[in-house]
Amino acid sequence: MPTKTIFLPGAGVNASFWRPVADRLEIEGTFPSWPGLGKEAPDPRINSLDDLVALVVEQIASPVNIVAQSMGGVVAIRAALAKPHLIEKLVLAVTSGGLPLAEFGAADWREDYYRSLPGRCALDKRAGSRSIRTDQNDHCADAPAVGR
């Protein structure tokens, strides 16, 4: 029996984000969603990142592979630390994994990103995204929030 693969999306993406990859690789997997994030309905039991980690950890009863993107990578690492003996493979794509990357000399990508896509500030403000803000700067301070 093949090892189950759990595919974890980022915060603003729905659970089917990884489905084309799984289909292309012919991998059976589970595709959990993040209640209250992206287009997913809220769940009153989910109030923190710890709650999202618990959602994933409760799916790990036997050896698994985890493939994760963006915020899903933070959840994946924490789930792997909770049950390291049951994680066969951990694949992280475009994620900080929750590490304070500035401490390691990593560049903050957000300023260039928002400068190249000025309409994105308005969309992220409307969605209430915290990715537009860092400790030092609100990269979209001058952009209007539209569609509220």
User: Strands, DSSP E only, in the chain?
Assistant: 4-8, 29-30, 64-69, 87-93
Residue linked to tokens 């190249």: 116
What are the residue ranges in the chain where pLDDT is below 50? 127, 132-136, 144-148
pTM of the full structure: 0.69
pLDDT tens digits for range 24-39:
999 989 999 888 877 7
Q: What is the CATH number of domain 4-93?
A: 3.40.50.1820
Domain regions of the chain by residue span: 4-93, 107-148
Rounded to a whole number of angstroms, the distance between the first and last alpha carbons of the chain is 49
- pLDDT at position 47, please? 83
- pLDDT at position 133, please? 47
Element (H, E) at 1: none
Q: DSSP assignment, residue 17?
A: G
